Amino acid sequence: MNSRGACPLEAAQNPRNGASDFPKYVPAAPPPRPQAWSQETASEKIGIHPKHPQRIELGTANGTVATLVAIAVTYKVTMPSLFEEPAEK
């Protein structure tokens, strides 16, 4: 309780007490854009054969969880973003 007899949290949440003590909403920064590496450079950084990413994209090969994690870490993106359709330009 504070000197006015109200709980500090209640006072901060009560709009009749003036400005809120809580910080205003600040939107998150957009995620960084993926690196523009050649397929060979990206494969080398990920640690897989240079043809493997192409086979995964075409659906002729399945990526293991370990491969997908390595791709996400290398490109600094989230795992779910690997499964999203690319945005049209």
pLDDT, one tens digit per residue, over 43-82 is 999 999 999 888 888 889 888 999 989 988 988 889 888 8
User: What per-residue confidence (pLDDT) applies to 29?
Assistant: 61
User: What per-residue confidence (pLDDT) applies to 49?
Assistant: 92
Cβ count within 10 A of residue 37: 14
Phi, psi of 27 (to 5 degrees): -65, 150
| pLDDT-based confidence at residue 14 (cuts at 50, 70, 90) | low
Residue 22, in any domain of the structure: no
Residue 51, in any domain of the structure: yes
Residue 76, in any domain of the structure: yes
Q: What's the domain range around 73?
A: 38-89
pTM over cut 0.85: no
Overall domain count for the chain: 1
> Using CA atoms in the order 42, 44, 48, 49, what is the torsion angle rounded to 10 degrees?
90
**How many angstroms separate the CA atoms of 34 and 30, rounded?**
12
User: What per-residue confidence (pLDDT) applies to 38?
Assistant: 85
